[in-house]
């Protein structure tokens, strides 16, 4: 008999959003790779993921666990953390849901259907020129199906959400039929795919499948119509000026989002203005960002300002990197996040860097740009993250250059591979040398759990310190040093010679030195080095060789 869930509390609503976010994280880089528009703010999966994370973090800070408090906090957090066009639209979906759930003590099937319907209306309202074949179409068609299903189905949440998810899947598959640019590129809409993934994650949570989700990955939906694949030509197109992607948060009193939208509607493209009388989020592509900012500051104070030149930023980066390449007919490209780690890779002679890593996976387009601008027709690519390897393979299929992908899943593996690079050897020899070198290094990564769970027999509480060995969680503790030492025990470090500690952006040198001292005391024969990695999210990354 199929499982039934007739009602959901505010706390369960929050945990459902958290599970959906974790599910989306597994798919974010694949969603990024769907982007077909040649603009730098097209990392849809990453933008939606960052927006969801901000919403969930705020939901955990809600004043109580009631449905209205959790829904309102989720909407507020999503708005404050919204990134890019897709992120802002997603925040409005949560705004609509929060408005509909504002007076609910619990959530039933009909409740969630009506909340999704309101979400669709609010999302459409936020755009000056809503485009079909996008996330808007998916939320509208999915919510309509949910309402119809809930009309004669009592309170069962799972049945309603199953209909929602199935309809969303069909809607995403049909997006190329509504948007010619998708049909031409051979992909479905990235934002729609992201929303489908979120809804699918929520459904799996309701079904009690959170443990199984750890060992599965979302699938990218394929189109329901024949497609004409022309992605390489589209990515390479630079003729059309896209101006500046301008985003900011406006805070003030008696703000009027509709009036602001009316003023800005002819100032650029892709305009989104959402918020209330005290906080407004603005996203616009414009050739004159200064005028936009000047207008906004006349209304209040602006925060989280981001102005990106969508035509020049990649060219400037590549030009700067070209000056630093070594004299070899083989170019090396590495994906790295953190100024300290970037300096490490530069010192090892990497030809160019692509910014990215955990939670910031670069898109296929980002990697392809780096490959095409590399000063050689022979390229070695170091993803340095398991979630980027697939994207790297996608980039390889889109270029005429000869590319070898060294499947580095961690930064230490990337460092070891670069150290093995021989400037006098050919491409095949270097590929073999680097793959062998990466296999000889062990990686320990230390971070904090974003949610409570149970993995590998370890009961993990939210925000507890967890330690991963070669990508697998093996230790949990309330103390960083203990977590690291408990992990080192599993690899017998006395058989190794060098341990390098890369400490992160949120970690002080003094703390790293204490960790190093503890390791030296327990393993006096081990040479321990400390390097400022400045990497996000991970307090420590340790390399053991």
Q: Do 384 and 413 touch, CB atoms closer than 8 A?
A: yes
Q: Walk along the chain (545 residues) and give the pLDDT tens digit of each residue.
A: 356 788 999 999 999 999 999 999 988 888 887 765 433 345 788 889 999 999 999 999 998 999 999 999 999 999 888 887 888 899 999 999 999 999 999 999 999 999 999 999 999 987 878 889 999 999 999 999 999 998 876 568 999 999 999 999 999 999 988 888 777 667 788 899 999 999 999 999 999 888 778 778 888 887 766 544 333 333 333 334 557 888 999 999 999 999 999 999 889 888 889 888 999 999 888 888 999 999 999 999 999 898 877 766 445 534 544 444 444 589 999 999 888 898 888 878 888 899 887 667 788 888 999 999 888 899 999 999 888 888 889 889 899 999 999 999 999 999 999 988 887 789 999 999 999 999 999 999 999 988 888 877 889 898 899 999 998 899 999 999 999 999 999 998 888 888 999 999 889 999 999 999 999 999 988 888 899 998 888 999 999 98
Pair of tokens at residue 161: 């959400």
Q: Which residues pair with 307 in a beta bridge?
A: 246
> Quick one: CA dihedral 332, 333, 335, 341, positive or negative?
positive
Angle CA(505)–CA(508)–CA(511) in degrees, nearest 5?
130
CB 296 within 8 A of CB 246: no
Average model confidence (pLDDT) across the chain: 85
Sign, Cα dihedral of 447, 452, 453, 458: positive
Distances (CA, A) of 403 to 33, 352, 366, 421, 429: 18, 14, 15, 15, 14
Alpha-carbon dihedral of residues 101, 104, 108, 114, nearest 10 degrees?
A: -30
Three-state DSSP at 273 gives strand
Tokens read off for 60? 């955990």
Starting at the earlier edge strand, list the strands of the sheet with 301-309.
269-275, 279-286, 244-251, 301-309
- Tokens found for residue 170: 């069909």
Where residue 374 falls (left for φ over 0; alpha for ψ -120 to 50; beta otherwise) is: beta
Q: How far apart are CA 59 and CA 13, in angstroms?
A: 10
| Cross-strand pairs, 355 | 336
Domains of the chain: 10-218 (1.25.40.340), 244-309 (3.30.70), 313-429 (3.40.50), 442-544 (3.30.1180)
CA count, 13 A, side-chain hemisphere, 167: 21
Write out pLDDT tens, residues 367-418: 999 999 888 899 999 999 888 888 889 889 899 999 999 999 999 999 999 9
Identify whether the C-beta of residue 534 lies closer than 8 Å to the C-beta of residue 504. Answer: yes
Residue 463 — left, alpha, or beta (φ > 0 → left; ψ -120 to 50 → alpha)?
left
Q: Which two three-digit tokens encode residue 81?
A: 């953390």
> Positive or negative CA dihedral for 468, 472, 478, 484?
negative
Q: Which of 423, 417, 422, 421 is nearest to 437 (CA)?
A: 417
> For residue 477, what are the contacts with CB-CB under 8 A and spacing of at least 6?
464, 465, 467, 483, 486
d(CA 145, CA 164): 6
- Residue 209, C-beta contacts closer than 8 angstroms, at least 6 positions apart: none
Cα distances (angstroms) measured from residue 142 to each of 146, 161, 441: 6, 9, 47
């Amino acid at each position: 008999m199929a499982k039934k869930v007739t009602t959901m509390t505010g706390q369960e609503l929050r945990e459902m959003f958290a599970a959906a976010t974790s599910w989306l994280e597994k798919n974010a880089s694949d969603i990024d790779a769907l982007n077909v528009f040649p603009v730098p703010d097209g990392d849809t999966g990453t933008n939606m993921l960052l927006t969801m994370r901000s919403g969930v973090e705020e939901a955990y800070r809600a004043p109580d666990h009631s449905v209205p408090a959790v829904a309102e906090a989720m909407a507020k957090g999503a708005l404050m953390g919204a990134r890019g066009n897709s992120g802002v639209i997603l925040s409005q979906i949560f705004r609509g849901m929060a408005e509909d759930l504002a007076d609910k003590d619990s959530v039933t099937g009909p409740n969630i259907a009506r909340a999704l319907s309101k979400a669709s209306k609010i999302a459409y309202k936020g755009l000056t020129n809503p485009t079909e074949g996008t996330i808007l179409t998916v939320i509208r068609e999915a919510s309509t199906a949910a309402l119809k299903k809930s009309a004669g189905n009592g309170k069962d949440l799972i049945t309603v959400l199953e209909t929602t998810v199935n309809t969303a899947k069909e809607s995403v598959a049909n997006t190329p039929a509504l948007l010619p640019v998708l049909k031409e590129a051979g992909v479905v809409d990235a934002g729609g795919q992201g929303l489908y993934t979120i809804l699918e994650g929520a459904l799996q949570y309701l079904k009690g499948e959170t443990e199984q989700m750890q060992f599965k990955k979302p699938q990218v939906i394929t189109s329901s119509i024949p497609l004409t694949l022309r992605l390489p030509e589209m990515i390479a197109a630079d003729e059309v000026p896209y101006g500046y992607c301008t985003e900011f948060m406006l805070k003030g009193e008696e703000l009027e989002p509709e009036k602001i939208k009316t003023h800005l509607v002819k100032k650029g493209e892709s305009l989104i203005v959402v918020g209330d009388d005290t906080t407004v989020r603005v996203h616009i592509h414009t050739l004159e960002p200064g005028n936009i900012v000047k207008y906004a500051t006349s209304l209040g104070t602006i925060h989280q300002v981001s102005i990106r030149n969508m035509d020049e930023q990649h060219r400037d980066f590549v030009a700067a990197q070209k000056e630093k390449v070594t004299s070899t007919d083989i170019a090396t490209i590495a994906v790295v996040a953190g100024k300290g780690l970037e300096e490490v890779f530069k010192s090892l002679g990497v030809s160019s860097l692509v910014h990215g890593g955990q939670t910031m996976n670069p898109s296929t387009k980002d990697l392809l740009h780096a490959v095409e601008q590399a000063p050689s027709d022979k390229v070695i690519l170091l993803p340095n993250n398991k979630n980027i390897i697939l994207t790297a393979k996608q980039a390889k299929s889109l270029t005429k250059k000869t590319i070898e992908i060294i499947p580095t899943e961690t930064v230490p593996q990337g460092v070891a591979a670069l150290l093995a690079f021989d400037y006098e050897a050919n491409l095949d020899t270097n590929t073999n040398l680097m793959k062998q070198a990466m296999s000889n290094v062990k990686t320990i990564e230390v971070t904090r759990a974003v949610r409570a769970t149970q993995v590998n027999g370890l009961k993990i509480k939210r925000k507890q310190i967890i330690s991963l060995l070669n990508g697998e969680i093996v230790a949990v503790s309330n103390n960083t040093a203990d977590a690291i030492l408990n992990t080192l025990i599993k690899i017998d470090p006395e058989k190794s010679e060098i341990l390098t500690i890369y400490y992160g952006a949120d970690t002080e040198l003094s703390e790293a030195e204490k960790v190093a001292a503890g390791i030296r005391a327990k393993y006096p024969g081990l040479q321990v080095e400390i390097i400022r990695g400045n990497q996000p999210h991970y307090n420590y990354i340790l390399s053991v060789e």
